[in-house]
Amino acid sequence: MKTWTRSFIGLGSNLNDPVQQIQRACEQLGKIPQCSRKKVSGFYISEPLRSSSAAAKPNQPNYINAVAEIHTQLNAERLLDELQQIEQQQGRTRSHKRWQSRTLDLDILLFGDQQILSERLQIPHPEMLNRNFVVIPLAELTNDLILPCGQSLRTALNKADFEPLKIVANFQDQIQPGTEHISTSNPQGRRGHPA
């Protein structure tokens, strides 16, 4: 029997109604085969990151960021395939330009206690502890997380002295209590829209 791995996904959007983009993406996370969506943080508004070489604030809209906890039987590469499919469905385009505005970005922040460095993946996400829009929502979901490097998330949060962030919306779960098993065991319905 395949084992379940607890994974945390970082979500970000700053184009085409970001709150709705994050809402839809969280719905889709719950429809990935062999995955179960457990918790979703608040939706936080954050200013676009400045690259270290540019002093000025980038000329792009603010982001909405959130973190979701999922449990999955997929391996990390298969999970990345599924996440990239969701990004595509929500109109993500890519250019060679770094940190361009995007309808949806889905990053695997953590995958159990695995440390992965491959052509396609770096886990834990290398920048996660430097980003308030990752650490703050992650700490909202889990109080006692120990990172694969042995550091506790709580310590990382206390050390970082981040600017606080504001929650502007929350995930609206469409699934009624007691019916979750129906939609998650119906692979045909995974990309469908709620009736």
Q: Specify whether 17 is catalytic.
A: no
* Closer to ligand A4P by Cβ: residue 116 or 175: 116
**Least Å distance between CB 33 and ligand A4P?**
19
**Least Å distance between CB 107 and Mg ion?**
5
- Report the alpha-carbon distance of residue 40 to residue 173 in Å, rounded: 10
Report the length, in residues, of the chain. 195
Interaction site with ligand A4P (CB under 6 A): 12, 46-49, 63, 65, 80, 94, 99, 105, 107-108, 120-123, 125, 127, 133
- Report the alpha-carbon distance of residue 5 to residue 3 in Å, rounded: 7
Half-sphere exposure of 116 (CA within 13 A, CB side): 19
Q: Specify whether 161 is catalytic.
A: no
∠ Cα 78 170 14 (to 5°): 65
**Least Å distance between CB 24 and Mg ion?**
17
Residue of 92, 154, 173, 190 with catalytic role:
92
Q: Which two tokens stand for residue 106?
A: 């889905």
Q: Which residues are catalytic?
A: 92, 102, 105, 107
